[in-house]
Structures are given as C-alpha cells and as structure tokens.
A = this chain, B = another copy of it.
Amino acid sequence: MIEQNENTQFELTDELVALVEQLIASQSDTELHTLLNEFHHADIAEILDEVGLEDATYVIKLLDSETTSEILMELNEDNREKILKTLSAKEIAEEVEELDTDDAADIISELPESRQLEVISNIENAAHKAEIKELLAYDQDTAGGLMGKELVKVYENWTVAGCLRRIRGQAKDVKRVHSIYVVDRQNKLIGRLSLKDLIVAKSDQKIADIYIKSVDYVNVEEGAEEVAKIMQKYDLEAIPVVNDNQTLLGRITIDDIVDVIREEADRDYQMAAGISQGVEADDSIWKLTKARLPWLLIGVFGGLGAASIIEYFNEAMGSFIVLLSFVPLIQATAGNVGVQSSAIVVQGLANDSVDSNIVKRLLKEFFLAIVNGFAIATVALFITHFVFGTPYIVSITIGIALISVIIMAALIGTFIPFFLDKRGIDPAVATGPFITTSNDVFGILTYFLIAKLILGF
C-alpha cells in the first residue's frame, strides 16, 4: 500500500500482534481503529488468526461489517467457525449482507443447518436473500457452488449509449466488471463484450452489431476441477454459468478458481505424503493424528505382512541367511519406483497430459523399468560382491530380484491410479503409503521367490 509505506509489503511481526493484543486488552478502540484501518482486510485476517478467539471476536464486533465480512472470508476456517459461533444469527446476517453472493453462500453453508435458516431469514435485502438461497442449493464442488450472481448483462437490441447508461446502474453492485454478457429476450447467453469494446465503440451502434458471438461458458452442474481446467486452458478471468437451456445463471471469477487449484494441489500433495482431510500445520494434535494415523497403520500392516513372508522363507534359507540383510534395499527400491510411476500417472490424469491408453503407458513404464532396473542391479551387484563380499551367486540373485521388483513396482504403480480413476476414485490416493505398502510386500515376496528359484533352498 503506497499510503502506508513507500516500499514494503505487509509483514506479520510478533510486535504487531503484541501491539494489537495490548490495544484490545486496554479497550483502546480508537487506536485499534486507526491502526487496523491502514491494513488490507486480508492482512487483518492474518493478525486475527494469531490472536486468541476472544480478542479476534472483539475486533470483529468493533469494526464495521463492510470490513469484517471480508476479514471473515480470509480467516483460517477453524477460526472463522469459532468466531461465527459467538455471533448471533442477526450479526452473521449483517456480515453476509455485505458480501458477494458466492462468498455469502460459502459462509452460510459452513454453519450448522438450523442456524443457516435463522441467518437467511435475518437477511434484509430480499433480492440478495433469494440469490443466496439459490446458490446454497448447488453442490459445493460444481460450477453452481462456485458462481456468484453479480454480473453485468445487456440485451442484444440495446445501443452502446443505452448500455453504458444501464451498466452504470448494474455496475454499482459488481466490484469488478470482467465481461459484459449479452443475452436474448429469454435471458439466454448469446455472446459477450468487454467494457473496452463498449468504450471503443460509437455510442449509437447496436450491441447486436458489436458483440462477440463466441463465448466460453460452463454448465451449472460442471465439476469445479473441470471448470478450473477450462479457465486455465483458455486463460479466462471469468466464465459465465448457464443451465441446460443456456439461460445465464451467474459467473465464476478466476480468484475462486485459484483457490480451487491451490486446494486441489495441496490435497494431492498431502495424499501422496499419506495425510488425509486437508489438514494444516497449525491444526490440533488430535486433528493431525486423525489425518495421519490411519495411513501409518496401513504401513504397519504391510510391515507385518512382510514379516510373515520373511518368517516363512527364513526356515528354509539355511546358509543364505545373508539375503535378509538386503530386504531394506529391495523394499526401498520397490517403494520409490512405485511412487514415481504412480505420481506421473496421477499428475498426467489431473492435467489431461497422459494418454488414456493404459496399455501404451504400461509398455512405456515397462521399458523405463528395464533401463532403471539394469542400472540399479549393476550398481548393487558390484557393491554387494566387491564391498560386502557377498558370494557371486547371491549378488546375481539380488541383481535379478531388483530388476524384477522394479518392473513389478512400476507396473503396479502405473496400473492402480488408472484403475482408481476409471472407478471414479481420486487416483491421488494411490501415490501415498497405499502404493508404497503394497509394493513393499509384493517386492519382498518377489525377492524371496526369485532367490528360492536361483539358490534352490
């Protein structure tokens, strides 16, 4: 902000948080006002995420609802939930009144169902209320759940001058005019126009003569991730949403899509790391345990499965007991290869860059596994034989086992995400401990079976 400081970005310092806490403690409302008014609402949200619940609620009740409604939107979800609990339905309705319809619907949908109705009935602006109610009916992960009702639309038979006049009216409710949507008399979307086109045009021209007939749009029931893909692919900053009859219902803006992309990436990343439920670093230990323990248990059961395989072969192994020392080598390699192969497929499926032909993909991974397998087997063979002094036949066994295990892990790692995707399950789940564990177990089994075959115990 230029006004605040010539050259630096907002920075959340311990001193600033302490100052705010102190001003709250001493109820210095005027100073608080003066201090916080300098900051963007997203910055105030960062400060409130750091102070305690009571302090945050104090600030929310202190500032005017135009600012606090935006602050609420930017707060950490857990903190928002706690603060909303301390507000009355009427107070929440006042906040919601200030928000765009999509944000308003998001806030309300986070409330318990009984409170939702109470808050809605307290919204005074009837049009705003009706629009929010409409939005609440859509599934959150669809275009309908993402869209807002704030848009500027014009009829094709209007003139440029008439348009500009009426847009002045509509635009008051719309923070940013992305596109002007052109509709026919039945409110069907037939094209678009930019504000720039309108300014550049002569004032007596008809909209019908200047509007752009080619317009991207999405159906209200389209999935959120699909909408994100379309907006990215076509570099759109806003996209209109229509129903099956092509009736214009709303618009989705890129800032909401950025959130969808970010959340999707975070979720995939966490799943690959064996963490579920989209937790954050500052969540409670209990929430973090719920998100992490189940995945660890999968690994534990895999480890116990591996133990029974080893026990089974152990007795027959006799003098080849040295094979047991290389179990971690086999396990680590199988796990790493499996994760690599599945990550490539998961990412490819997410951005449509992978050929949907499974056979082609499996063949490619097969060749890749042979290349990597021979390289790794050679390294392992030399080191085990010349450094560890393992008998030649055992080193060869380890080498052959490594190649086989790498091929197997690559194929399993490739197949599982495809399989999950076809079944409608998020394939990202496959990259986590799930794939590592199954590859651990199959890898160790393969290792001993090959050893048995070669060494004949």
Contacts and interface: CB of A to CB of B under 8 A. Distances in A.
A304 B371 contact: no
**Interface residues of A toward B: which range?**
35 or more
A300 B164 CA distance: 69
Given A273-B272, A310-B328, A190 B384 contact: no
A423 interface: no
Number of copies: 2
A237 B178 CA distance: 10
Given A1-B214, A261-B265, 18 more contacts: A2-B217, A167-B199, A168-B199, A199-B199, A254-B254, A266-B347, A285-B371, A289-B375, A292-B368, A296-B372, A299-B332, A300-B329, A302-B328, A302-B332, A303-B331, A304-B388, A311-B322, A311-B388
Given A269-B269, A332-B331, A371-B285, A258 B255 contact: no
Nearest to A238: B237
A380 B299 CA distance: 11
A206 to B, nearest CB: 19
A352 B380 CA distance: 42
A302 B310 CA distance: 20
A-side interface mostly: helix
A139 interface: no
13 contacts: A7-B244, A172-B200, A265-B269, A272-B272, A275-B343, A275-B344, A280-B348, A296-B372, A300-B376, A303-B328, A303-B332, A310-B324, A328-B328
Given A1-B216, A300-B379, A303-B326, A199 B262 contact: no
Nearest to A256: B235
A340 B275 contact: yes
A137 interface: no
B300 A372 contact: no
A368 B337 contact: no
A171 interface: yes
